Amino acid sequence: MEMAKTKLLIVTHEMSPFLELTKISEITRQLPQAMQDKGFEIRILMPKFGNINERRNRLHEVIRLSGMNIVIDDNDNPLIIKVASIPAARMQVYFLDNEDYFHRKYVFRDKESKFYEDNDERAIFFCKGALETVKKLGWAPDIVHCHGWMTALVPVYIKTSYKNDPTFKNSKVVYSVYENCFTENLNANLCTKAVMNNMTEADTKVFEKADCSTMHIGAITYSDAVVLADEKLEDDVLKFVKDSNKPTLAYNLTENFENFYNLYEEISTEELQSIA
């Protein structure tokens, strides 16, 4: 009997060739391909920021997935899903779009380099929208690998609001920590706004300070494993990772994708061992 393929979901705010801001874009391009070569089934989700060229990248709307509303602070925000292929890799990338949050020329800062005031809501919209999109795909990931601060709420949602959902109840979550890319704070009400069904503010309290390190620490709190994806990480984040005793991929091991494969295997078989 053929073994079922491991299903790997990559959630990121950037990926080459669509959007290249930091090294995240390289890793999120190479890692899924390396895992696909190992026989994994891959899905990739990212926001459709306004500076991603739809025509050049051949994005088109997926009507059957679009049309949902994501509620933030009692406001309904329409979610449009677009898709593009990476021909060389036989991989599809799903883009989450919303006129209010993503139709801008810039990504996280305006032309004067001012940090967008609604970056908190943009992150909430993306994280909620990503999970709802995967549900609608009817595709239950074995591993959800989140890259960067904008994905930081995905782990808490999977472990609280979605913990009994058939799509995610068996999912293991990996969070890759990258260098802090903003020094500002997100909106002070992030904790309250981020609460979903079957959650309380106690679940999001860890995000209370709403700075970049806090987003990382909150994500790590609810993840099953951690990847130290940059050489220079904040001391408080490194200490938190160490104290958490979670399976961790050290920075000097991230060059070799075989190590990611081993980490995925380690957390996938943990539960089997505990049942046995």
Arch. (CATH architecture) of 7-275: 3-Layer(aba) Sandwich (3.40)
Residue in 216, 194, 220 with CA at minimum distance from that of residue 205: 194
Helix 235-244 crosses helix 212-221 at what angle (to 10 degrees)? 10
pLDDT band at 1 (very low <50, low <70, confident <90, very high): very low
Paired tokens of 32: 């899924």
pLDDT tens readout for residues 15-68: 999 999 989 999 999 999 999 999 999 999 999 999 898 888 899 999 888 889
pTM: 0.94
pLDDT band at 14 (very low <50, low <70, confident <90, very high): very high
All structural domains of the chain with their residue ranges: 7-275
Range of weakest confidence among 16-25, 163-172, 210-219, 266-275: 266-275
pLDDT band at 79 (very low <50, low <70, confident <90, very high): very high
Mean pLDDT (the chain) is: 91
- Residue 75: in which H helix or E strand, if any? strand 75-86
DSSP 4: P
